[in-house]
């Protein structure tokens, strides 16, 4: 019998004050983002440990080599205090590497993280308004996430990054005009009318991989792709582009991303059509309308675009 073993600790929320500022981000035309001060850096972290050293705990109840998940939580919190990275990916790398160097029975592991954004609050000052240096407001909109796979190199004294994936999740965008869906296949089951111009409300998650997984871990950040810039680029494309479907829209965003960031090898999209139902229309002005949330089910659209390969739909 063969086994594949994994265990770990999830939902470890970390709030670090005065972390290393994020600087050196190359500007792009679609976004004002070029860095952040990281006065408050917050994230939800997870570790998944893999390795045959723990098999005895499963087969014989022998826990002598098991690192308790509560110990993992405490380790993460202490390691966060010592983190010098300015990015979520850098945090995952530093903490994951520290685990492998501390616990020799861990052969490889996955670190995952989701940003918990706390942007500075806007407060009055003598000139009008300013961003506070001590007050922050929890933002529950889109956020960055990342996943990093690490393993012990031959000899056990070094740690290698085997995979790194980053993304921006939870984008919710509504465009009132400039989107359509028409001329689609029809048969006896089709009831949807052509819509030459419609509001379009989408939920979308965007993920990407680098050609070199070490590129975003450079502390100078010359090739780092910031989730804030990805979100701004997606919004810019949605604003300008007259799309004929959600598929058409996400493909355009993907093309722009691969053109803007040549260090990316792949971009992926998971989108949902959350277009509102029309509840009432003004007789005096048909642009004045009331909408309501649609009942489920929802349309889902997937797309993977890899540099040098044909795009694939899921």
Question: Which backbone phi and psi does 174 adopt, to 5 degrees?
Answer: -120, 130
Query: Which residues carry out catalysis?
Result: 9, 69
| Side-chain-side CA neighbours of residue 22 (13 Å) | 24
- Sort residue 19 into left (φ over 0), alpha (ψ -120 to 50) or beta: beta
First to last CA, the chain: 34
Q: DSSP 3-state assignment of 102?
A: helix
Hey, what's the torsion of the CAs at 77, 82, 87, 88, to 10 degrees? Answer: -20
Decide: 115 and 128 in contact? Cβ < 8 Å: no
- Picking from 230, 215, 223, 216, the residue whose alpha carbon sits closest to that of residue 268 is 230
Give the H/E segment covering residue 248: helix 246-260
């Amino acid at each position: 019998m063969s086994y594949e073993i994994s265990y770990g600790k999830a939902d470890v929320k970390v709030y670090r004050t005065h972390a290393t500022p994020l600087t050196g981000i190359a500007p792009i035309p679609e976004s004002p983002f070029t860095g952040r001060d990281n006065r408050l850096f917050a994230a939800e972290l997870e570790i998944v440990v893999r390795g045959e050293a723990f098999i005895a705990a499963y087969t014989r109840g022998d826990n002598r080599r098991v690192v308790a998940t509560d110990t993992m939580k405490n380790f993460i919190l202490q390691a966060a205090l010592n983190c010098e990275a300015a990015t979520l990916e850098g945090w995952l790398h530093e903490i994951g590497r520290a685990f492998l160097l501390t616990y020799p029975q861990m052969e490889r592991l996955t670190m995952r993280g989701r940003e918990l954004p706390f942007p500075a609050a806007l407060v009055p000052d003598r000139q009008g308004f300013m961003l506070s240096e001590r007050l922050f407001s929890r933002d529950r909109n889109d956020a960055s996430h990342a996943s990093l796979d690490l393993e012990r190199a031959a000899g056990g004294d070094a740690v290698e990054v085997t995979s790194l994936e980053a993304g921006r999740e939870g984008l919710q965008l509504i465009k009132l005009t400039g989107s359509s869906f028409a001329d689609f296949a029809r048969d006896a089951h089709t009831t949807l009318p052509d819509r030459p111009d419609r509001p379009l409300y989408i939920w979308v998650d965007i993920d990407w991989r680098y050609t070199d997984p070490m590129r975003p871990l450079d502390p100078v950040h010359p090739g780092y792709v910031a989730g804030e810039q990805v979100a701004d680029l997606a919004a810019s494309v949605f604003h300008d582009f007259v799309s004929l479907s959600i598929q058409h829209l996400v493909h355009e965003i993907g093309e722009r991303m691969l053109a803007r960031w040549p260090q990316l090898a792949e971009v992926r999209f998971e989108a949902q059509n959350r277009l509102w139902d029309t509840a009432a229309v003004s007789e005096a002005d048909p642009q004045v309308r009331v909408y309501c949330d649609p009942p489920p089910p929802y349309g889902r659209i997937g797309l993977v675009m890899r540099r040098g390969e044909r795009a694939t739909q899921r």
